[in-house]
Structure 1
């Protein structure tokens, strides 16, 4: 019942807004300020009644009124409200475009921090289901932060960009983003964060299949790593260099790698291990090969002996007695 009451109240505010936009002989210009206020009130009523489609429609009309009145900051705020309503509706298709419009208005008004925050808020909504759109918004937020010389904020947005590249398996772009993030942390003297990022960069280079690049990353940034991190990375790189899958798996399962950001922990879990040195295949030996060879030899020897005996017998039978043989004619 209260929902119906709120809807009726919202409809009344819409009517008032429409009246404010009408012109007459004595009213040459619409009252955009009052109309925007009435549309905002109507949107609040519809939102409380959970009539989200009507709420979104009123907010977009309020945006137009604020633009006509050159109140860009309030127009951007109305667009931010639209993003939240899209989340309530479960329809995220327009979230990225609404956030980008809001950011443009904030920047035109001179509120760069609000622009970056608006993009960040929308990107978080999109991150799970639409990571590519979220990536674009985080990149835009990082650019705005860099323009404002806010290196800490830029490092935070760049970190999200790098993690999304890893999630999307865009390892070349992830490596570039990690280098930029390392440079920002070095500029801010955040050495502990730089050490953890060195581990992430080595993992990404190994995922690219480039062991040489991983070793270069360790040599360049490894001085920011702590003792356990250095030992683990040395073991990992040596294992990949020597193609030792057991030590590589042991290094990838080290506790601090498992407790890194989710994207890097998953990357380490699914990392292809080195194949290792394969032993040469054993020569295939036919069973009973030797015995059959011996049997053939024996058969050959037996046959030779038989042939020799036959020849000797023939020679003996066909031989005439010699003259000098005193027993040639027998004893008699």
Structure 2
């Protein structure tokens, strides 16, 4: 990009175009390291192009270097924000988070949370709720229930402002399940009662199911709880929430309506006792029948 007598300014756009062409050629040849190098040079001559960085991140996916995807897209999102395109930034963050959440779940959470913050700043309430919810679901898989409850509550709070009632009811069921997995009945009950302020929640099927589940949990009735979480309302929730329902254990839970099995051959005290040597021993003299006594008497005097 040298200047000359008839060229006073470097042709950055032309250079970026050539680097992009080189990147395409390297990619077709599966020379991925050179592809990334060309894309990063294209980004540099374009004064840090976020789109070129995103393209490089896709190559890192081919190389299964997932941590580099997160770092690169996060940098790209910062550039988008600097250039006043927050929508593009949040989309890039969400796309990268989805790409890495299986392999780098904690980094994926960070990207979802950043996307959530970007959307909040732009008053994109529904999308902000979605990003908080995606972070919550990963926290559930990691069994980090405190953070899961926090982010699910954030999703609920956002959705409550846009009157998304059907989804809200399902999320309230999930929030109660999370608190019960924490063995925190009080928090579960408080979350349930707080939902009474949501339009038509009280008369919903979900509210009735939650109330029954809380009652079974409080009474330590594992059998009742199992029956409730096997109902269609719980079984057809999102997969992460269904697993919470399926794995719910009631502390000290008892199976109602069932008694301990009796021990086989057990008899009331003092009746039918057997000796320590086992129940198959021959009867003693006191217990012999008449026929047995006659057989013994026949030889009582010995042989003649």
TM norm structure 1: 0.72
Pick from 140, 152, 158 the counterpart of residue 132 of structure 2.
158
Task: Report how far residue 161 of structure 1 moved.
Answer: 1.3
Aligned residues of 2:185 and 2:218 also touching (Cα < 8 A): yes
Deviations 1:13-65 (A, max 9, x none): xxxxxxx3x46788676433221111011111222232222111100111111
Residue of structure 1 in register with 2:16 after alignment: 36
Residue of structure 2 in register with 1:266 after alignment: 243
Q: Where does 1:67-78 land on structure 2 (aligned, <5 Å)?
A: 67=47, 72=48, 75-78=49-52
- The whole-number CA distance in structure 2 between the counterparts of 1:202 and 1:273 is 13
Pick from 98, 101, 108 the counterpart of residue 127 of structure 1.
101
Q: Which ranges in structure 1 are unaligned for 5 or more consecutive residues?
A: 1-19, 281-286, 292-332
- The whole-number CA distance in structure 1 between the counterparts of 2:202 and 2:178 is 17
The change in CA–CA distance for 1:130 and 1:226 in structure 2 (over 3 A counts) is farther
Pick from 172, 179, 186 the counterpart of residue 212 of structure 1.
186
Q: Where does 1:242-261 land on structure 2 (aligned, <5 Å)?
A: 242-261=219-238
TM norm structure 2: 0.79
Matched, 1:229 2:206: yes
Moved more, 206-215 or 230-239: 230-239
Matched, 1:88 2:68: no
Residue of structure 1 in register with 2:285 after alignment: none
Give the 3-state SS of the residue equivalent to 1:260 in structure 2: coil
Give the 3-state SS of the residue equivalent to 1:134 in structure 2: helix
Task: Report how far residue 127 of structure 1 moved.
Answer: 1.0
Pick from 31, 43, 66 the counterpart of residue 51 of structure 1.
31
Give the 3-state SS of the residue equivalent to 1:224 in structure 2: coil
Q: Where does 1:87-106 land on structure 2 (aligned, <5 Å)?
A: 87-106=61-80
Pair member with larger Rg: 1
Pick from 169, 174, 181 the counterpart of residue 200 of structure 1.
174
More helix per residue:
1
- The whole-number CA distance in structure 2 between the counterparts of 1:139 and 1:30 is 39
Residue of structure 1 in register with 2:151 after alignment: 177
Aligned CA RMSD, in angstroms, stands at 2.8
Moved more, 245-254 or 256-265: 256-265
- The whole-number CA distance in structure 2 between the counterparts of 1:87 and 1:276 is 47
Aligned residues of 1:240 and 1:248 also touching (Cα < 8 A): yes
How many residue pairs were aligned? 263
Aligned residues of 1:239 and 1:247 also touching (Cα < 8 A): yes
Aligned residues of 2:222 and 2:249 also touching (Cα < 8 A): no
- The whole-number CA distance in structure 2 between the counterparts of 1:226 and 1:42 is 63
- The whole-number CA distance in structure 2 between the counterparts of 1:255 and 1:112 is 40
Q: Where does 1:103-118 land on structure 2 (aligned, <5 Å)?
A: 103-118=77-92
Aligned residues of 1:195 and 1:226 also touching (Cα < 8 A): no
The change in CA–CA distance for 1:226 and 1:41 in structure 2 (over 3 A counts) is farther
Task: Report how far residue 117 of structure 1 moved.
Answer: 0.1
Q: Which ranges in structure 2 are unaligned for 5 or more consecutive residues?
A: 261-268, 274-304
- The whole-number CA distance in structure 2 between the counterparts of 1:41 and 1:112 is 28
